[in-house]
Structure 1
Amino acid sequence: MAATPPVPAPSGRLRRVGVVLAMLAAGQLLAGALVVLLAEPASTFLALGALLAAIAPWVVAAATLRPRAPGPVTAADALTLLRHLGTGALAAATVLTLGGELAARSWPLVVLIGATLASDAVDGPVARRTGSAGPIGARLDMEADAALVTVLSVLAATVVGPWALAIGLMRYAFVAASRVRPALREPLDFSQFRRFVGGGQGVALLIALVPIVPAPAAAAVVALALALLVVSFGRDVVRLERAQRAAVR
């Protein structure tokens, strides 16, 4: 019997998980500090809150990468972690916005949001090209998206109203529901509609935060995004419940 050829190790590996997470934490604190300096003079209480918010996405990244520790982080993972870094800066800005020290709609904030969202377009292709795609990388990408959208929904809520928070909370509500409904824990088949709707949430929230977009138009865009998200989650719930009932029969 011919020997099975060895499977090549994924390329594009970087430093180990612990080192990369330490670098991420330092970067998030630095980003948060820069945001605080831009909003100066912010109160000490708000400044500390902004720094804590900046480091919060690190917890999500660390929990997601834990199964790889102490192994290496891939190039695709590093690109996804840039989204966590941007989310940290945006979380700090959100705290200052809620405290009245920073405007929710400004061009520097729009540029930061756009750059953070853009990183989502490159990590997947890099993972496939380097042969490092896998469940941990996919989970890291999904959690980074969820954290970013949650922060953006809080910012958008200051413009269009608190109902925009539903966009950021929808995915976590689904996860909570899966704790009591076993059917919702089953894997979902690929859906281009789900992918389109999920990718459109960040874009819709970005549009709502562009200074030149009228508030009514911003509200309409966010409302449409939320409606599509409800439809997408509703379809998935119905499919999973039907699949479970069919399996029981």
Structure 2
Amino acid sequence: MLLALLTALTGLGPVGWAAGLLFAAGLWTLLDTAARRAGTDALGPADLVTLARAALVGGVLALVVDGAGPVPIVAVASVALALDAVDGRVARRTGTASALGARFDMEVDAVLLLVLSAHVAVLLGPWVLAIGLMRYAYAAAGRLLPWLRGALPVRYSAKAVAAVQGIVLVAAVAGAPGWVVAAALVLLVWSFGQSVVFLWRAR
């Protein structure tokens, strides 16, 4: 439905459709596998909000791959970012918070940052990709260094820095200067550095 709406509004072409449908198929497969491992066959109310965000991320991917202009990308990505503040509240108010929901939320955020950073990298340079790849590099390092997989305390600064990345990347799509993105990247490196130092000391 979202792809059809984007086609009507922006003239989304076959390349965008292909990217969107592949994303949907991958999302369905991974979410189904994760749900089976978690022993559940239904999504809670907060998970449905996250699922809506995931669909919007697929829309952003379709627009980026199709070479759409900044206006539709900014519009769809902004709605996805706004909903990021909703699913957590819904989970807490309905008492349906779960490890699956938290992981689902985190991975949707990571994919959105990756897609946006890839688009902005075309505008400002390949260094911007570091924002989108940081989460995946950290996870890959954790496979080689088991102590990086330790539990981290809740840091609101880390949540704030993560939120800033999406906002800044959307602003960059709209024409914000490169130094703003560079500042966001510095903050992200600092945030991940804090986590690495904590885990190193607690190993």
Q: TM over 0.5, yes or no?
A: yes
Letter of the 1:156 partner, please give it: V
Q: C-alpha separation between the residues in 2 aligned to 1:116 and 1:242?
A: 36
Q: Which runs of 5+ in 2 are unaligned?
A: none
Check whether the contact 2:45–2:90 (CA below 8 A) recurs between aligned residues: yes
Q: How does 1:117-136 map to 2 (within 5 A)?
A: 117-136=81-100
Check whether the contact 1:204–1:222 (CA below 8 A) recurs between aligned residues: yes
The offset of 1:222, in angstroms, is: 1.1
- Tell me if 1:209 matches 2:173: yes
- Tell me if 1:31 matches 2:7: no
Superposed CA deviations along residues 80-137 of structure 1, whole A, max 9, x for unmatched, are 111110011111111112xxxx22x22x321111111111101111111111112111
Letter of the 2:182 partner, please give it: A
Q: C-alpha separation between the residues in 1 aligned to 2:141 and 2:115?
A: 21
Aligned to 2:126: 162
The offset of 1:63, in angstroms, is: 3.9
- Aligned to 1:71, the other structure's residue is in SS state coil
Q: C-alpha separation between the residues in 1 aligned to 2:15 and 2:78?
A: 29
Q: C-alpha separation between the residues in 2 aligned to 1:220 and 1:228?
A: 12
The offset of 1:39, in angstroms, is: 5.3
Q: C-alpha separation between the residues in 2 aligned to 1:182 and 1:41?
A: 44
Superposed CA deviations along residues 169-200 of structure 1, whole A, max 9, x for unmatched, are 00000000000101001110111211110111
Distance 1:158 1:55, change over 3 A: farther
Q: Which runs of 5+ in 1 are unaligned?
A: 1-29, 245-249
Q: C-alpha separation between the residues in 2 aligned to 1:90 and 1:64?
A: 23
Q: How does 1:1-249 map to 2 (within 5 A)?
A: 30-36=1-7, 40=11, 42=13, 47-53=17-23, 55-68=25-38, 70-97=40-67, 102-103=68-69, 105-106=70-71, 108-210=72-174, 213-214=175-176, 217=177, 219-244=178-203
Letter of the 2:200 partner, please give it: E
Name the Cα RMSD after superposition.
Answer: 2.1
- Aligned to 1:72, the other structure's residue is in SS state coil
Q: Report the TM-score, using the length of structure 1 for normalisation.
A: 0.74
Higher helix share: 2
Q: Report the TM-score, using the length of structure 2 for normalisation.
A: 0.89
Distance 1:128 1:49, change over 3 A: closer
Q: C-alpha separation between the residues in 2 aligned to 1:165 and 1:193?
A: 22
- Aligned to 1:122, the other structure's residue is in SS state helix
Q: C-alpha separation between the residues in 1 aligned to 2:146 and 2:166?
A: 29
Letter of the 2:196 partner, please give it: V
Q: C-alpha separation between the residues in 2 aligned to 1:40 and 1:153?
A: 23
Paired-residue identity, %: 42
